[in-house]
């Protein structure tokens, strides 16, 4: 057996806006070691190394035993939102210099004459044109003039750009001119980061392709620097295993691929909890699970139907109006279909311009953090309110490793909310807690409805440090009567890394009428995409077992949007055009209620996911016991009850000592090191053989 094959430990590290989460898995014993520490925004690798050094105190020498470290980060999305990426230049076809502003010439708020749009990542003075032209069928209409191209590159270098994006018209059909520019950039400015649209997104739709390529170039230097620094520091502390990065599409990939395609890891961290929820949905055969992950900065959620989290080909970043589609930067890469809003434990409460209470989307983050963190924060947050309401134990936060200052929390809420509104401290604290639940519920109902789900029938699965605290309140507001809290829910994203496949998505535009399709040529394109996917996976020598899942985007001729159609394995000739048409009609009718069998179809894009077998997380199970562990019930604590409108005694349970078969009624509080579950009066909690907490809210909701 090779030295690497003898290593049996894997580490998941999720860098969030407030906390960095760690989960160490021993694959031989199934034992998990959990750790949390505050994120270091100035250099996230500091928190990663610090956390690993702290784990080493509990598990001496574990770093040298690691086979894999799987990492998710908010670095890329934060760089875009905060506009802290590289000074980027864009080279494009003559006449297309302003495409980033023109977009699709659609106003997201047609009746708002003051509607704002996000500023392009590349200002106009850093965009240059070259005289070239490729037609939609790939024919060269105007050759690229080499000397003019050299001048364009040198012009950007004179303006001191740190990265270059190249996106030429119709290059998805024939990339010859982009490849010439790629060679020239390498010759003229060796070492400067650049992104070529044919490598980043070889698909139709000029605006989306340009925006995505520019975004990739904008964050590429920062990502390369971070990943290089992280790899170096990990090596310094003795790590010799493989480092993988979580993709927005739900797979994991090599550091090299992530550095080359940083636009693919924009939603790196939030995706992992959804993948864990997908795994749990299949484990318990739950038809509709609403996965809800509330951390310190944001709340992320996704409706998982029949054990599958949907993947969409496009999304937006940095919206000017957070609930208005079209007000953000358009990114066209595969991403798990999740909803993200500025609602977390660190969401700041304040009095709005209308003199009413407002909570979020701004967050106190890790620095200075909520008032109760004692790091200089003076603006009250959701965590401060939860502490004042008795839901959190100031002496038990993070398993007792972090002391909370309840007096600072009371003072912040009193001065900033209670006194200005003329209400009591408790009313102000409950108002903050309840308003953030209302904000999340409104967004959740919309998300579920858009996916054809029913909020009343979903099972709400809560993750994140703040998720279980707000899970029951959120469930009641959307009408769901069942909540499930997985083990170690507070580090759900880091744990979710172990359920994600090593996978990479590739795509290519191939616009052709279905009646004129050359199935052999399409098979050839899929074969090429498979080779590209295997390269992106960064396979080790002799590594086998790659599988390829194919699909295509098709639409009625004349339609403006496509429907994705998964394809069965085998040559397309055996499926035939009639088979493709039947597959399309079935999916289209399910989505929209009817189809149009007499209207001809056309193919637009071909998609392929290359993946390696998943190392499934083997959840340990125990036999149901009729006896409760004597240390499971810690005692009682006064906490606020919405039903009683007062502080009432809540039983406090230690989750680490709960055993399968245990059950109890609310009002109750269940504490573990990473999170706290609030059980309202009348709710029933049961512990299953895997240690999941199932909370039944039927009686609470009066059903």
3-state secondary structure of 584: helix
8 Å CB contact between 303 and 24: no
pLDDT for the residue 323: 60
19 phi/psi in degrees, rounded to 5: -120, 150
Class (C level, CATH) for 9-80+225-265: alpha beta
In terms of pLDDT, which residue wins out, 637 or 106?
A: 637
- CA distance readout (Å), 398 to 239, 621, 658: 26, 25, 18
Stretch 537-564: mean pLDDT: 83
Q: Which helix (H) or strand (E) holds 281?
A: helix 268-283
> Helix or strand or coil: residue 181?
helix
pLDDT of residue 4: 43
pLDDT at 92: 97
Q: Looking at residue 250, what is its pLDDT?
A: 84
For the ranges 23-37, 84-98, 277-291, 660-674, the lowest mean pLDDT is seen at 23-37
Q: Give Rg (Cα) of the chain.
A: 26
Q: What is the pLDDT of residues 671-702, one digit of tens each?
A: 988 889 999 999 999 999 888 999 999 988 76
pLDDT level of residue 110 (50, 70, 90 thresholds): confident
Cβ–Cβ under 8 Å, residues 242 and 69: yes
Q: Bigger pLDDT: 82 or 214?
A: 214
Q: At which residue do the structure tokens 């919309």 appear?
A: 446
How do residues 585-604 score in pLDDT, each as one tens digit?
A: 999 998 888 999 999 999 99
Above 60 in pLDDT, residue 5?
Answer: no
**Are residues 603 and 554 in contact, defined by beta-carbon separation less than 8 angstroms?**
yes
Query: What is the pLDDT, as a whole number, of residue 430?
Result: 96
Query: Does the structure show a pLDDT above 60 at 130?
Result: yes
645 Cβ neighbours under 8 A, 6+ residues apart: none
pLDDT of 271 reads: 83
Mean pLDDT (whole number) for 566-576: 89
- CA-to-CA dists, residue 524 to 51, 529, 535, 566, angstroms: 47, 9, 17, 17
At residue 363, the pLDDT reads 80
Q: Where are the domains of the chain?
A: 9-80+225-265, 347-434, 503-611, 633-696
What are the tens digits of pLDDT across the range 432-471?
A: 999 999 988 988 888 888 787 888 999 999 988 889 999 9
Residue 128, pLDDT score: 97
What residues contact 223, with CB distance under 8 A and at least 6 apart? Answer: 75, 76, 258, 259, 262, 265
Taking only the tens place, the pLDDT of each residue in 333-389 is 888 888 777 778 888 999 988 888 988 878 887 678 899 998 888 899 999 999 999
* Upper half-sphere CA count for residue 685 (Cβ side, 13 Å): 29
Checking if the pLDDT of 73 tops 70, the result is yes
pLDDT score, position 90: 97
What pLDDT score was predicted for residue 616? 63
Whether 447 contacts 303, CB under 8 Å: yes
Residue 497 has pLDDT above 90, yes or no: no
Whole-angstrom distance, CA of residue 359 vs CA of residue 413 = 12
Region 499-512: mean pLDDT is 89
| pLDDT tens digits for range 267-317 | 887 788 888 888 888 889 998 999 988 887 778 888 998 888 888 888 888
Give the pLDDT band (50/70/90) at residue 540.
Answer: low
pLDDT at 28: 77
Query: Tell me, what's the pLDDT at 82?
Result: 77
Q: Where are the alpha helices (DSSP H) in 414-454?
A: 419-421, 425-450
Q: Which two tokens stand for residue 327?
A: 């007000």
- The C-alpha atoms of residue 357 and residue 364 are separated, in whole angstroms, by 17
Residue 502 DSSP symbol: B
**pLDDT given for residue 294 in this prediction:** 87
Predicted pLDDT at 7: 57
Is pLDDT of 64 > 50? yes
Q: Using alpha carbons, select from 417, 432, 409, 414 the residue that is nearest to residue 355.
A: 417
**Res 123: pLDDT:** 95
Question: What Cα–Cα distance (Å) separates residue 297 from each residue in 42, 342, 361, 383, 661?
Answer: 16, 7, 8, 11, 35
Q: What is the pLDDT of residues 632-650, one digit of tens each?
A: 899 999 999 998 899 999 9
Query: Above 80 in pLDDT, residue 178?
Result: yes
CB 151 within 8 A of CB 361: no
Q: Highest mean pLDDT range out of 179-193, 311-325, 449-463?
A: 179-193
162 pLDDT tier (thresholds 50, 70, 90): very high
Q: For a pLDDT cut of 70, what percent of the chain falls above it?
A: 96
Cβ atoms 294, 462 nearer than 8 A:
yes
* pTM as predicted: 0.81
Q: What is the pLDDT of residue 313?
A: 83
Block residue for tokens 């494009």: 92
> What confidence score (pLDDT) does residue 1 get?
33
pLDDT attached to residue 301: 86
pLDDT of residue 148: 94
Across the range 176-192, mean pLDDT stands at 96
């Amino acid at each position: 057996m090779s030295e690497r094959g003898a290593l049996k430990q894997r580490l998941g590290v999720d860098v969030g806006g407030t906390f960095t989460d760690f989960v160490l898995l021993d694959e031989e014993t199934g034992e998990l070691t959990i750790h949390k520490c505050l994120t270091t925004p100035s250099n996230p690798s500091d928190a990663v190394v610090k956390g690993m050094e702290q784990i080493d105190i509990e598990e001496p020498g574990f770093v040298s035993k690691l086979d894999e470290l799987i990492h998710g980060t908010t670095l890329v999305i934060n760089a875009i939102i905060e506009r802290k990426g590289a000074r980027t230049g864009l080279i494009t076809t003559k006449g297309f210099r302003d495409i980033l502003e023109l977009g699709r010439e659609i106003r997201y708020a047609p009746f708002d004459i003051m509607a704002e749009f996000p500023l392009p990542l590349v200002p106009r003075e850093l965009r240059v044109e070259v005289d070239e032209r490729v037609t939609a069928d790939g024919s060269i209409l105007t050759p690229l003039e080499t000397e003019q191209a050299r001048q364009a590159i040198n012009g950007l270098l004179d303006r001191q750009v740190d990265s270059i994006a190249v996106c030429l018209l119709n290059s998805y059909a024939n990339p010859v001119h982009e490849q010439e520019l790629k060679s020239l950039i390498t010759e003229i400015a060796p070492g400067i980061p650049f992104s070529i649209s044919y490598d980043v997104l070889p698909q139709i739709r000029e605006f989306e392709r340009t925006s995505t390529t520019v975004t990739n170039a904008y964050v590429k230097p920062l990502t390369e620097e971070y990943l290089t620094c992280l790899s170096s520091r990990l090596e310094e502390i003795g790590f010799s295993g493989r480092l993988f990065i979580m993709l927005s599409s739900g797979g994991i990939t090599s550091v090299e691929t992530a550095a080359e395609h940083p636009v693919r890891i924009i939603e790196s961290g939030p995706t992992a909890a959804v993948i864990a929820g997908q795994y749990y949905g299949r484990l318990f055969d739950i038809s509709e699970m609403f996965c809800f992950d509330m951390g310190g900065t944001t709340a992320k959620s996704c409706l998982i139907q029949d054990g599958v989290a949907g993947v969409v080909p496009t999304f937006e970043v940095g919206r000017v109006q957070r609930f208005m589609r079209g007000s953000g930067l358009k990114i066209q890469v595969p991403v798990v279909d999740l909803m993200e809003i500025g609602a977390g434990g660190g969401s700041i409460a304040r009095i709005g311009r209308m003199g009413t209470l407002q909570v979020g989307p701004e967050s106190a983050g890790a620095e200075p953090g909520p008032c109760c963190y004692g790091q200089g924060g003076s603006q009250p947050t959701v965590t401060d309110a939860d502490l004042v309401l008795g839901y959190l134990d100031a002496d038990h936060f993070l398993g007792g490793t972090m002391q909370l200052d309840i007096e600072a929390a009371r003072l912040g809420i009193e001065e900033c909310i209670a006194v200005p509104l003329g209400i009591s401290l408790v009313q102000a604290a409950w108002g903050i807690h309840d308003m953030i639940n209302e904000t999340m519920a409104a967004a959740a109902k919309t998300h579920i409805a858009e996916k054809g789900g029913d909020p009343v029938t979903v099972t709400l699965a809560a993750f994140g440090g703040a998720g279980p605290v707000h899970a029951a309140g959120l469930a009641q507001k959307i009408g769901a009567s069942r909540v499930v809290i997985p083990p170690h829910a507070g580090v759900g994203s880091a744990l979710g890394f172990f359920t994600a496949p090593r996978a990479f998505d590739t795509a290519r535009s191939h616009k052709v009428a279905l009646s004129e399709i050359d199935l052999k040529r399409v098979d050839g394109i899929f074969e090429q995409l498979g080779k590209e996917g295997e390269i992106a996976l960064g396979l080790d020598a002799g590594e086998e077992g790659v599988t390829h899942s194919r699909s295509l985007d098709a639409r009625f001729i004349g339609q403006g949007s496509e429907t994705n159609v998964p394809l069965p394995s085998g040559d397309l000739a055996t499926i035939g055009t009639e088979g493709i048409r039947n597959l399309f009609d079935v999916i289209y009718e399910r989505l929209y209620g009817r189809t149009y069998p007499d209207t001809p179809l056309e193919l637009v894009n071909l998609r392929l996911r290359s993946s390696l077998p998943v190392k499934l997380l083997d959840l340990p199970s125990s036999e149901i016991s009729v006896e409760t562990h004597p240390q499971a019930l810690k005692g009682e604590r006064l906490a606020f009850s919405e039903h009683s409108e007062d502080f009432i005694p809540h039983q406090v349970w230690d989750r680490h000592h709960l055993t399968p078969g245990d059950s109890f009624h609310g009002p109750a509080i269940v504490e573990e090191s990473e999170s706290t579950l609030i059980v309202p009066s009348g709710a029933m909690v049961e512990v299953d053989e895997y240690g999941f907490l199932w909370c039944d809210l039927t009686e609470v909701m009066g059903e």
